[in-house]
Structure 1
Amino acid sequence: MNAKTELAKRLSETFSGGTPVTAEALAAILKDYSITKESDEQRSDLHRRIKYYLGAKRIDGLSDKTLGNYRCNLEMFAARVNKSAAKVTTDDIRGYISYLDETRHLKDTSLQTHINTLRAFFGWLHTEEKIKKNPMSKIKSLKLDKKGARQALTVEELERLRDACQGYREKALVEFLVSSGCRLSEVAQLNVSDLDLVGRTVRVVGKGDKERPVYFSVRARLMVQEYMVSRKGGTGLFVSSKSPYEPLKPRAIQRIIRAISERAGLEKHVHPHLLRHTFATHALNGGMDVTVIQKLLGHEDVSTTQIYAEMSDETIKHQYNKYVAAN
């Protein structure tokens, strides 16, 4: 029995008799104990631990966007769970996940993002020996339909998306995303001056601040040129429709794509990343070598590209007949 438990037991025995307890009696019980008031920092040091964790991840090379997402998710957790990191339990984690699910009504994919963030954070604390037990060790990942979530748009669905565009800004945005395979963050930071319209190419800065050339279609070039004629100002490739015509932020681009897909009546949740996936899938089914797609997407490992690019059964059969069946 530790000192805290022993003290609690003795106090319980003293008060359970129903007789008023004198100061002298309490002093006699407490004379063998050293009592200090727990500070607010000791009670909840999570904010400080989060700061150190993000600092370590910045040194590891994580992008500002990723660090910002980590900070948002972890600070939300710290505000909800007012404890020191060492005292956070598995039940605290489970209660927080239930809160996100039942009260905040987050989708499974968003819930899994929070779980992944907490797993990485507490795993780091455990590795750094800041906590003795990892409360995430018994928390399992959700079973997500990853294949269904990243299912590329069909040719018909893509045409419906194009038909639902209103104005050349929307048309140029959809064509550029689906023909270049660029990430949302890469498109958001582009300026008009970055584009080589004759060569239909542009250099983008991707993950890890790595620069690479990407290409866009003739249709995308035509839509961009028409958009540049109708736009009123701004230096960004895609800008707001009101003065001072600031470049569209990633969230604004997401909202535009979502609005187009709703007008098109598509059942799928369409977002910029799905258009990137659609680019990879259609390129692979069209016969493009997967290592070329890898370079265009800016992937370090070809296995990542293979997750994005799903080959249709018809293409597989055609490739088999072309290279095997005739021999």
Structure 2
Amino acid sequence: MSDFYAETRAIVESKANTLSKYTYDTYLSHLRKLQMYRPTAECRDITEAFVFGYIDFMHARKNSAGCIYRSLSILRMFIRELLRRRKMRRDPMRDFPLKKVRNRREFLEIDELEKLYSGFRERSEQLNFSEREALRAFLFSCFTGLRFSDLRALTPHDIHNGKIRIFTQKTGAQVYIPIPAQALALLEGTGETALHVVDNSTFNKNLRAAAKKLDFHSHLHAHIARHTFATSCVSFGVPIEVISKVLGHANIQTTLIYANYSNKVIDREMEKFKINVPAG
């Protein structure tokens, strides 16, 4: 008999030298999630019933459709590698209808971003340290497009003459980001760590608490900031190629998913559609 979790961890460790730190940590995180669902399991226990039970477990935890898709994709990768290593005899997900979910992208309109930024600058004394630092980091991401993992890793040494130059945590891509004056102001007095960013779950909890105290009622979470940056750039007419470069995307199609057009931009642009004939 083969222990499913021991074998799966061995797979992850065998790939450690070829994976980015972000991907490596993601695989281990999903392995821990599987163990929360079923603390012990042999490879022979990974059946269709196991998979459907895992889905029910994620629904009970109110995981989003996109989160469930990613979790199942990683489970499928684990299973296929175990099959290749002859640790499993059959694939319980062979006929599984796994379809990618295209999430609705959330972002702040420019006037909402202005309101939140002004609230932080004028009323930050109403927030405790954790709330203040979460909102500071969130706003910094809104102005720079940094991923959450890159916010956590950012140090003053990554900033030169008002520009960020880093290799991203997720893909290792090199990015160059000119920092707007509003974002530079957020870094004043932050010390050696640049930004104080905790784990994602705690960060989001502190962020929402800060927004509530500032009478900002939109539901906020860390990734909205990156979407807001991309959408704001589109609103200001920044070429999509430049946005893609700043975000560190290898494929411009990825940028097009992030770069939503707000209703205000659509209204403004459609005003250009004018034909010189009488209406009616």
Give the structure-1-normalised TM-score: 0.68
Aligned partner of 1:177 in structure 2 is 141
Aligned partner of 1:152 in structure 2 is 107
Once the 2 structures are TM-superposed, how far is the Cα of residue 283 of structure 1 from its aligned partner? 0.4
Contact 2:187/2:195 (<8 A) preserved = no
Q: How far apart, in 2, do the equivalents of 1:317 and 1:160 lie? A: 22
Please, which runs of 5 or more residues in structure 1 have no aligned partner?
Answer: 1-41, 240-247
SS of equivalent to 1:299: coil
Aligned partner of 2:179 in structure 1 is 216
Change (3 A) 1:311 1:100: closer
Amino acid at match of 1:210: A
Contact 2:80/2:91 (<8 A) preserved = yes
Q: Output one character per residue of 1:148-174: Cα deviation in whole Å (capped at 9) or x when no partner.
A: xx2211123223422443257566434
Are residues 1:187 and 2:151 paired? Answer: yes
Q: How far apart, in 2, do the equivalents of 1:258 and 1:66 lie? A: 27
Contact 1:200/1:221 (<8 A) preserved = yes
Once the 2 structures are TM-superposed, how far is the Cα of residue 238 of structure 1 from its aligned partner? 1.6
Are residues 1:203 and 2:152 paired? Answer: no
Question: What percent of counterpart residues are identical?
Answer: 24
Higher Cα Rg: structure 1 or 2? 1
Contact 2:139/2:225 (<8 A) preserved = no
Amino acid at match of 2:257: I
Once the 2 structures are TM-superposed, how far is the Cα of residue 71 of structure 1 from its aligned partner? 1.8
Aligned partner of 1:10 in structure 2 is none
Aligned partner of 1:89 in structure 2 is 47
Q: How far apart, in 2, do the equivalents of 1:171 and 1:129 lie? A: 49
SS of equivalent to 1:158: helix
SS of equivalent to 2:171: helix
Q: Of the candidates 41, 48, 51, which is equivalent to residue 6 of structure 2?
A: 48
Q: Of the candidates 92, 97, 118, which is equivalent to residue 135 of structure 1?
A: 92
Q: How far apart, in 2, do the equivalents of 1:160 and 1:212 lie? A: 28
Amino acid at match of 1:263: K
Contact 1:164/1:260 (<8 A) preserved = no
Q: How far apart, in 1, do the equivalents of 2:90 and 2:274 lie? A: 55
Equivalent residues in 2 for 1:269-308 (5 A)? 269-308=219-258
Q: Output one character per residue of 1:79-127: Cα deviation in whole Å (capped at 9) or x when no partner.
A: 716443244210121123223433x454444433322221221133334
Equivalent residues in 2 for 1:49-88 (5 A)? 49-59=7-17, 61-78=18-35, 80=38, 82-88=40-46
Q: How many residues are aligned here?
A: 264
Q: Output one character per residue of 1:185-234: Cα deviation in whole Å (capped at 9) or x when no partner.
A: 112112224323xx421212203333321122112222322xx1xx5xx5
Alignment root-mean-square deviation, CA? 3.1
Q: How far apart, in 2, do the equivalents of 1:256 and 1:215 lie? A: 28
